[in-house]
Amino acid sequence: MPGTLDLDKLKAACDLPKFRALEQEMEQAVQREAQERRRNVEETKRAREKRARKKRLKTTRAAS
């Protein structure tokens, strides 16, 4: 059977500023990853639109 966790003892043993810094670093890493994914999605969308535009122009030139 697992023992109980004394939150006060844990807080006393923990270096709170260090923990908060680690927590902030982790949150920033998640935010950077989310921004990178959004940027990649936007770049992919832009490239797809550019190819579609080129294809439309090529078709209209060929039809003229």
CA 50 – CA 37 distance, rounded (Å): 20
> Would 30 be classed as within a structural domain?
yes
Q: Report pLDDT for 2.
A: 63
Q: Report pLDDT for 38.
A: 98
Mean pLDDT by 10 residues, the chain (64 residues): 72 82 92 98 97 94 84
Q: Report pLDDT for 47.
A: 97
> Would 43 be classed as within a structural domain?
yes
Q: Where are the alpha helices (DSSP H) in the chain?
A: 7-13, 16-63
Q: Report pLDDT for 19.
A: 82
Q: What is the number of structural domains in the chain?
A: 1
Output the six-digit token pair for 23. Answer: 């927590």
Q: Report pLDDT for 11.
A: 75
Q: CA 25, 27, 28 angle in degrees (round to 5)?
A: 65
> Would 49 be classed as within a structural domain?
yes
Q: Which domain holds residue 26?
A: 18-63
Output the six-digit token pair for 60. Answer: 């209209």
Q: Report pLDDT for 33.
A: 97
> Would 12 be classed as within a structural domain?
no
Q: Report pLDDT for 31.
A: 97
> Would 10 be classed as within a structural domain?
no
